Amino acid sequence: MKKILHVAETIKGGVATVIRTISAPPEGEAQNYELVYLIPFDQKKELHGIDEQQIRTFDRTKRNVRSLLRFAWQLGRLILKEKPDVVHLHSTFSGVIGRVVCVLLRPWRSPKIVYCPHAFSFLMESSPAKQKVYSLIERLLQKVTDVIICVSQYELDKAARFGIDRRRMTLIYNGIPYKNEAPKTADNAPIHLLFVGRLDYQKGFDVLLKGFAGVQRTDLRLTVVGSAVNEDTVDCPVMAGVEYVPWVTPAEVNALYLAADVLIVPSRWEGFAMVPLEGMAMGLPVIASDCTSLPELVTHGVTGYIFPTGDHQALTNLLVKIQKPGLLALGTQGRDKVRERFSSTLMIRQTYDVYSAPSY
């Protein structure tokens, strides 16, 4: 039996969805794997459906030195105690700290290291100097990494240009289970816009509010689901037609997808976002920025609409024109695309093939 240790410094949002998805081994192979998880204590509910006895936690107040040290300490203890065959590190902070911990423990334990950045730090909107530092760290740490999972072709190609060895990288698109919901139908109700995610700079929450504020229509409603994670405070101004909802359960999110007419994803950078996949699987068209990997999922005029990253006026211009019949047609195309290219079955199979493959 192979033991897999999933490690994340924070799992709010799409990372939790990815971990939950790949927590189910390929059909008929469950007896071959034992899974253990290290996540923040206050985010345990994000792994609903997973046996709590498999979940280990650390105290995380926010992203500060104390929390990161607690994370590193607990990870080291777990590797020595659980003796995992594979350590799967999720996101960049886990990737940096986790790989350093694994190197320090090599005299005693040497698990296979699988790292999925869910968007490299050097893909973020930042200064050239910061990008150089981030890429230098990644280039150094790749030498102790067996496999780097990239979740989009954009991410893989961009990482290669920053000096990451293509031989260490593999492309595995995020995937979701098949949804068998009844097709949406047009009606005369207001057009319901939906945003689901962290209210952080990365996700373009400010772009969304500015874009919506510029629309002079009374038949649009916007529901914002989520909260800030990586930023201390985010202004959620009272606006006509806007409703703010805190993090909700997946079942409640599905209900919101069904009630909505279009999903808006105004991110500034992404690895490969789960939210548009989830929405498209439920028959929702997506209005997305053209950042990083999103054009690999959303095709302009086919499964939704694309606008320039950070351009709130371009978003306004799209919202001025949308009508329900056209949105329904785009949603149907999006549902078909997800079924064909982004299934959870394929994602799971490819991930477990990585676990079983010989080390680099």
| Beta-carbon count within 10 A of 324 CB | 18
Q: What is the largest CA-CA distance in the chain?
A: 67
d(CA 115, CA 354): 11
- pLDDT at residue 185 in the model: 66
pLDDT in tens, the chain (360 residues): 899 999 999 987 678 989 999 999 999 999 999 999 999 999 998 898 899 999 999 999 888 889 899 999 999 999 999 999 999 999 999 999 999 999 999 999 999 999 999 888 887 767 888 888 888 999 999 999 999 999 999 999 999 999 999 999 999 999 988 777 666 666 778 999 999 988 888 899 999 999 999 998 889 999 999 887 665 567 778 888 899 988 778 788 889 999 999 999 999 988 788 889 989 999 999 999 998 889 999 999 999 999 999 999 999 999 999 999 999 999 999 998 998 889 899 999 999 999 998 876
Does domain 191-341 correspond to CATH entry 3.30.1490.20?
no
- What phi, psi does 311 have (nearest 5°)? -95, 90
Amino acid at site 285: P
Query: Residue with structure tokens 């504020």?
Result: 213
Helix (H) or strand (E) holding 296, with range, is helix 294-297
Return the CATH number of the domain spanning residue range 2-175+343-356: 3.40.50.2000
- Where in the chain are all domains bearing CATH 3.40.50.2000? 2-175+343-356, 191-341
d(CA 326, CA 308): 21
Helical ranges in 83-228 per DSSP H: 92-104, 128-141, 153-161, 205-213
